[in-house]
A and B are shown apart, each in its own frame.
Chain A
Amino acid sequence: MAHDADVLTASGISAAEAERYGHNLPLIDGNKTYRQVTEEVFAPTERRPPLRWWLALAVTLSMLSLGAWAVVQTLTRGIGTWGLNRTVGWAFDITNFVFWVGIGHAGTLISAILFLFRQRWRTSINRAAEAMTLFAVMCAGTFPIIHMGRPWLAFWATPYPNSRGSLWVNFKSPLLWDVVAISTYFIISLAFWYIGLIPDLATQRDRAKTKLKRTILSIFSLGWNGSNRTWSRYETVYMLLAGLSTPLVVSVHTIVSMDFATSVIPGWHATIFPPYFVVGAVFSGFAMVLTLMIIARSVMGLEEYITTRHLEAMTKVVLATGMIVGMAYATEFFTAWYSGNPYERYVFLNRALGPYQWAYWTMVGCNVLSPQFFWFRKVRTTPWMIFILTIFVNIGMWFERFVIIVTSLHRDYLPSSWAMYRPTFIEVAILIGSFGLFFTLFLVFTRVLPMIAASEVKGVLKNVEH
């Protein structure tokens, strides 16, 4: 074995280096057969969930019902149950909205952009990451709808012919762009996810034991039989959807950032916002994917599918995007200083040294410092360390949105109207409820649908370039 290290591979690197950089290593461990992949991927959907799954569900359902209670309080008693005031007119709801939309970005990035870049390791995680995108966008969508006060009139935000005379939505408003962008993103992500799911639904249908399950799966698998003529078109459609989703995912957080950037509030009115938000979204999304995958792989015994190689690749994305985010924080300060605008300068000094400095330094610590540990290979390949660091990143990215929104608003041009914002219990309960919704949906997903794209994993089982 000793002189194996000296054998050069075809690409001109030693076997040791090849091992180190993962060249030509199998993407899936355990030398699996196709049948084994089918059995192992579909097993969780075919047996009764274990007790710990039910315990987890009990926790997430409790969180969800607490949130539902808070939403009912908000809608029956009014927005006055929130801690908003004259200068801080939106705070917790928009923070949570941007946070969840950001979480959603990793799914599309993994499924679309990594697909276009031919990153074949994505196959183990794309299904779950895309599901996570859908659930996160659902969580995000609830916040603006609750803030409307009359959610049953939410359709007023869409341009539809009505009997109120000439009356249309304002297409020049970033808030409307937001409605269109988030809806489009949800629909296209759903289509992308569903298209990817069809072959696996067919496998699940073929294996179904009960008639009801078989009937439901027959309806949703659309008569899939693995025909190569269909596969050929399927791959074309998948590629087209990936191509469409790539600019879409960039546009979504760009437009979310324009909610802020097109206003004239110091601290928001900055051209750096679109790229800064998009990168932040990818950063937080990958952190959330890692957090979830580390739990899921160990709970569901999928360590051979989601290997430390997958985790390592994702931590590298987290490190890179974390540094870009840190760069953006610094650039914001430079721009504020260079603008010569005293209000702009004040906002940033106030951010770092004012009454919300604890939030600012939490953000910097979590988002800029904690990813630096990923420079060490040991950290990148140790799941529990990754888990802790990604939790920090999640916290930091939540605080980033809080800092941007609240510190820019709470002190405006007139010192007489300066105010402090603190969330009420109702607002915190809605945030907890959104986490409850997210994890409940994810838990149900892991037991109802195959969490790993079996058909894609089978395609890379032999990690051979065709």
Chain B
Amino acid sequence: MSSTEHLHRSRFRASFADPEQLLHAVKHLRTAGHRVLDTYTPFPVHGMDEAMGLRPSRLPRACLAFAVLGLALAAGLQIWTSAVDYPLITGGKPLLAIPAFIPVAFELTVLLAGLGVVASFFLVARMRPRLRIPDLHAGANDDRFILAAELAADIQFPAVAQELAGLGALDSGLLVEDRFQRRSAFWDRPAGVGALLLACLPAFLLLALVPVLNRDFQRRNLAWDGGMGAPLSAQAYDASGVLPSGKVLQAPPPDTLSRHGEPPLAFGPGKAEAERAGRELQNPYQPTQARFNRGKLVFERVCATCHGREGDNNGSVIVARGAFAPTVLVSPLVRDMPDGRLFHVATFGGPTKMKGYGDLLSREDRWQVVLYIRELQKAAKPAAAPAQATGAQP
């Protein structure tokens, strides 16, 4: 390798202090038949592309291609997710709401066009992190305007150097480039035990990946944050270890007012209160077909289980079981009770066994049930009257 044949001696450099001089020198060298390889300047010198004979960059085409890709991607993503894979109607808009897709489509077009053209630029200009920069360009990022060129076949360098000096070059020189001798790179260094460990690392990582890749993809993901994915749920009638009453479902606080705008009922449970209710309360509703229907519905769902569908204990579950016979609603005893008294029973329960339904039925429903019981009593009259209440006036 001591021979000098492999040394390349036809390239030279020159540096200038002024962009105009550099531009002039480039033009001059090109007309003289030399090949200008490149210039190195602290800022883009206008007119240099033409002087060097560079063609306009084709990066705009890359930009357009990426823009089209972004637009297609955005259109495909939005149409497929919104209209095909997850067809959820929101805001009464059609599933394929093209105007609503425009903003995201525009943004993704710009995003891909921008990132794409930057990536293309880095690729074609071979820009990547480099730890060493050749000395050729010293000052090119500061205040020097440098050119690198190749001598025309039959011209010797000293003559060119003189011309360049005449054009204002601060210095110029041949570039000696050894084509065979490569500087030993980072990758060529001999390495030791640390490198062995590094070499084993990918294998370990690969093995560690196996259980991850083997997992059942049908199962839920591992959620490190329990928060919204797994809320604590409690059933209404479960026991609670936290709440004071020991139950999940809490009674409303005392003196809680109904949200339906009704004033609180000024009666409590008990016989005396029941009689007072009989004296003081009037049924606020007049019998109509609608109230009859509602009263019938509520009666048959709630009351008929024990009192029978006709209010005569016929079909009563607890009578059939022999447990207890409720008061016959169509009996004269009940018929003679005022409406307010019946309402009180429906609300707070009867004198013996019946429980109150004040917390389950609305006040309106309880009054409507009272209306319905009156209708049952009217309907039962022909059958019951002769047997039990001979002296009753119609």
Which A residues are closer than 8 A to B by beta carbons?
33-35, 38, 150, 152-153, 159, 163, 166-174, 176-177, 180-181, 184, 187-188, 191-192, 195, 198-199, 202-203, 205-207, 215, 218-220, 222-237, 240-241, 244-245, 247-248, 251, 255, 258, 454-456, 458-459, 466
Contact = CB atoms under 8 A, between A and B. Distances in A.
B44 interface: yes
B140 A226 contact: yes
Which 7 pairs, one residue from A and one from B, show the smallest C-beta to C-beta distance?
A223-B130, A34-B143, A466-B46, A226-B140, A168-B81, A459-B43, A222-B127
Contacts of B63: 240, 244
B225 A38 contact: no
Interface in B136-170: 136-138, 140-143, 146
B101 to A, nearest CB: 6
A228 B45 contact: yes
Given A232-B57, A240-B59, A240-B60, A172 B125 contact: no
Interface string B107-121: 110110111011001
Contacts of B60: 236, 240
A177 B104 contact: yes
A187 B118 contact: no
A184 B108 contact: yes
Interface in B11-46: 38-46
Contacts of A192: 114
B141 A199 contact: yes
B107 A172 contact: no
Interface of A is mostly: helix
A171 B142 contact: no
B80 to A, nearest CB: 9
Contacts of B195: none
Given A33-B143, A455-B42, A229 B118 contact: no
A191 B131 contact: no
Contacts of B128: 222-223
A226 B141 contact: yes
A171 B108 CA distance: 13
A199 to B, nearest CB: 7
Given A218-B131, A233-B59, 16 more contacts: A34-B142, A172-B90, A177-B104, A181-B107, A184-B108, A198-B127, A206-B133, A219-B131, A223-B129, A225-B133, A228-B45, A232-B44, A232-B54, A232-B57, A235-B44, A244-B113
Given A228-B45, A237-B118, A255-B103, A184 B91 contact: no
Given A168-B85, A220-B129, A233-B125, A180 B43 contact: no
Nearest to A457: B43
Nearest to B134: A225
Which of B125, B217, B228 has most A Cβ within 10 Å? B125
B296 to A, nearest CB: 37
A177 B40 contact: no
B41 A188 contact: no
Nearest to B49: A232
Interface in B72-105: 77-78, 81-82, 85-86, 88, 90-91, 93, 97, 100-101, 103-104
A191 B91 CA distance: 36
Nearest to A174: B103
Contacts of B118: 191, 195, 237, 241
B208 to A, nearest CB: 22
Contacts of B115: 187-188, 191
Contacts of A258: 103
A177 to B, nearest CB: 4
17 contacts: A168-B82, A171-B78, A171-B104, A177-B104, A180-B104, A187-B111, A188-B115, A192-B114, A206-B138, A226-B140, A231-B48, A233-B125, A236-B56, A237-B121, A247-B106, A247-B110, A251-B107
A153 B229 CA distance: 11
